[in-house]
Structure 1
Amino acid sequence: MSIQLQNPYNQKPLSKIDNGLTDAADNFFPYKNGAYRIVSNDNYTESFGYQWNKFSEAQIDKISNVDISRTRFFAETNWDKEELDSKNILEVGSGAGRFSQIILDYTKANLYSVDFSNAVEANYKNNGTNNRLHLFQASIYELPFAKAQFDKVFCIGVLQHTPDFERSVQSLIEMAKPGAEVVVDFYAINGWWTKLHIKYLFRPFTKKLSHEKLYKKIDSNIDWLIRTYQFFSRVGLGALVNRFLPICDIDGTLPKGLPYEQLRELCVLDTFDMFSPEYDNPQKISTVTDWFKKYGMESVWGGKIYYDNCWAAVVKGIKK
């Protein structure tokens, strides 16, 4: 069954025409470079559009030949590939399409993929040849779908970067039909020390830099930062010292044994991702599980999932 598209601003059904979407009131949303545009590029996710179009292939398994996205996706969701056949799946916050590729290549599901930034263009570049992909540039708070239609909903690597975490959770749950599963991950608050980290000291300044200037600063310093990080890890001081280095958590977020050039690219990408977003709102796992229950989920589970020397804070549940 196809998904009913809906104008999120007036709740009128949307119909496809040659160059976009329209409703009965003649509101029009264009189709451009592979995606239906419900919003413009000028929003708080502009840095992500820059990031994912610049690093459009870095996290795409079929291009990088490193199995990081597939491992993470199936570890966090625990979804059975065969059971997803012909199901309608909603992905919110697709970036360059790393998890879109996994859904499209490993299952026969129909994927409705949304990003608030023009990263949809990178996703289309990577996955647009598959006719089961339906791309939309839209806000998590104004999704262009009638409610309660999707068999599965997932949002990975996104929620901490939205302005209202709880409202974001509510918006995702509203899209799931009864019996559907919703899976999210996010930056977790592990204790009082969580925000005792270099990124929270630097972010008030770095997020105001132009994307180009921030990228150049990171790229020109990344080699000595990698060496320093690895030195402290080798001598057993990584857990104490490396959180105060302006570089991503190599040991906790990246696979071991990567060739240096690939490691370097991912470090630049993830470090840019640390310092550029407008919002960075970690949450307690217990808080997110409570929100799931508040907005109509049952069989809710929340905890840490470990995969490939990495871990993620995950909450999942079934819509009542």
Structure 2
Amino acid sequence: MIELIDPISKQRLEESPEGLRNENGIVVYPLINGAYRVAASDNYTSNFGLEWNTFQKTQIDKFSGNTVSEERLFAQTNWQKNGLEGETILEVGSGAGRFSQIMLDHTKATLYSVDYSEAVEANYRNNGPHERFKLFQASIYELPFKQASFDRVICLGVLQHTPDFKASVKALVEMVKPGGELVIDFYPIRNVFTKVHGKYLLRPILKRVNHHRLMSLIRNNIDFLISIYTFNRRIGLGVFNRFVPICEIERTLPKGMTPEQLKEWIILDTFDMFSPEYDQPQRLSTVAKWVKEFGMADVDASWVTYHGKLEAPTVRGRKV
């Protein structure tokens, strides 16, 4: 069992049907809709709460009919399927639970899953209740666990959206027990042109638009944007698609989806481009350096390929 610690008072916490109780028996963090609420929902991740409760099943393999999340998880971690019996995994930034589902269905580990947003509700609807699944709404900087407790800590698709990327990496490393493993990925800086992109040109404006209004704006214009994107590709001017306010369809989305699934995924990823408060891509070498600085050894930093041609910059390491 993982020892639960109040990130504010540092007192030990105990689980109960009502929530997490402190040493005086008082419920300090309630259990609401399947998740222990260690953080208030009014924070910089409100867009993700809307995003994942709107697109609750879009990226979940067992609902979508594809295996892209399963392929990605095992390519990035090199974990053995149906293994990890008796181990504990901390997943930070779980969203609607696309990787939670894979870890619950294809490993034997106990999963402690955290998200700072109300996406925890979508995750619980997708994956709970489950005897090996514990769900928390908490900040990466105020995790309710004793440090150096977990056999494995994983954080995929999240770090670039935190206020302080380096401090976030440190917070994750602190949760890994000696000999344990860390696996992270993030949005990369590929070259000097990474931020010469419609995403970064429009984000300062669009991230301030009401999230419901932004979602409607994208939905109402998505067919037009897809037609521009497709036309540019057809006439050999795909290079200009970096300035079209739509996600990169060719490089980032899985193959084999129905037209309806593809459109839904494009709306999701386009909203994900413009709505976050923070979007801070990093160089692979920089993140690897930070991971080593905070006490990880045997660090491997590489581009991992999965689902044919999709790529993810991944850093793995073991706690000294």
TM-score normalised per structure 2: 0.97
Deviation of 1:226 after TM superposition, in Å, equals 1.6
Q: Tell whether the 8 Å contact from 1:181 to 1:319 is kept in structure 2 after alignment.
A: yes
Deviation of 1:232 after TM superposition, in Å, equals 2.3
Indicate the RMSD between aligned Cα atoms, in angstroms. 1.1
SS at match of 2:58: coil
How is 1:48-67 mapped onto 2 (pairs within 5 angstroms)?
48-67=48-67
SS at match of 1:289: helix
**Does 2:81 match 1:77?**
no
Q: Deviations over 1:164-217 (max 9, x none)?
A: 000000000100001111000100111110100101111111111111110011
Paired-residue identity, %: 55
In 1, Cα distance between the equivalents of 2:166 and 2:215?
31
How is 1:177-192 mapped onto 2 (pairs within 5 angstroms)?
177-192=177-192
Q: Tell whether the 8 Å contact from 2:141 to 2:168 is kept in structure 1 after alignment.
A: yes
Change (3 A) 1:159 1:67: same
Q: Tell whether the 8 Å contact from 2:181 to 2:317 is kept in structure 1 after alignment.
A: yes
SS at match of 1:141: coil
In 2, Cα distance between the equivalents of 1:198 and 1:182?
33
Amino acid paired to 1:135 = L
Partner of 1:135: 135
In 1, Cα distance between the equivalents of 2:296 and 2:233?
41
TM-score normalised per structure 1: 0.97
Q: Tell whether the 8 Å contact from 1:251 to 1:310 is kept in structure 2 after alignment.
A: no
In 2, Cα distance between the equivalents of 1:41 and 1:181?
30
Partner of 2:206: 206
Deviation of 1:27 after TM superposition, in Å, equals 6.2
Partner of 1:153: 153
Which ranges in structure 2 are unaligned for 5 or more consecutive residues?
Answer: none
In 2, Cα distance between the equivalents of 1:62 and 1:16?
30
Q: Once structures 1 and 2 are overlaid, which stretch shifts more, 165-174 or 219-228?
A: 219-228
How is 1:223-302 mapped onto 2 (pairs within 5 angstroms)?
223-238=223-238, 240-302=239-301
In 2, Cα distance between the equivalents of 1:45 and 1:267?
20
Partner of 1:3: 2
Q: Deviations over 1:275-319 (max 9, x none)?
A: 000000000111100000000000101121111221111111000
SS at match of 2:5: coil
SS at match of 1:84: coil
Amino acid paired to 2:242 = R
SS at match of 1:317: strand
Which ranges in structure 1 are unaligned for 5 or more consecutive residues?
Answer: none
SS at match of 2:12: coil
In 2, Cα distance between the equivalents of 1:83 and 1:18?
30
Q: Tell whether the 8 Å contact from 2:34 to 2:129 is kept in structure 1 after alignment.
A: no
Deviation of 1:17 after TM superposition, in Å, equals 2.5
In 2, Cα distance between the equivalents of 1:233 and 1:130?
45
Count of aligned pairs: 318
Deviation of 1:42 after TM superposition, in Å, equals 0.2
Deviation of 1:127 after TM superposition, in Å, equals 0.3
Amino acid paired to 1:54 = T
Deviation of 1:67 after TM superposition, in Å, equals 1.3
Q: Tell whether the 8 Å contact from 2:159 to 2:165 is kept in structure 1 after alignment.
A: yes
Q: Tell whether the 8 Å contact from 2:83 to 2:108 is kept in structure 1 after alignment.
A: no
Deviation of 1:257 after TM superposition, in Å, equals 3.2
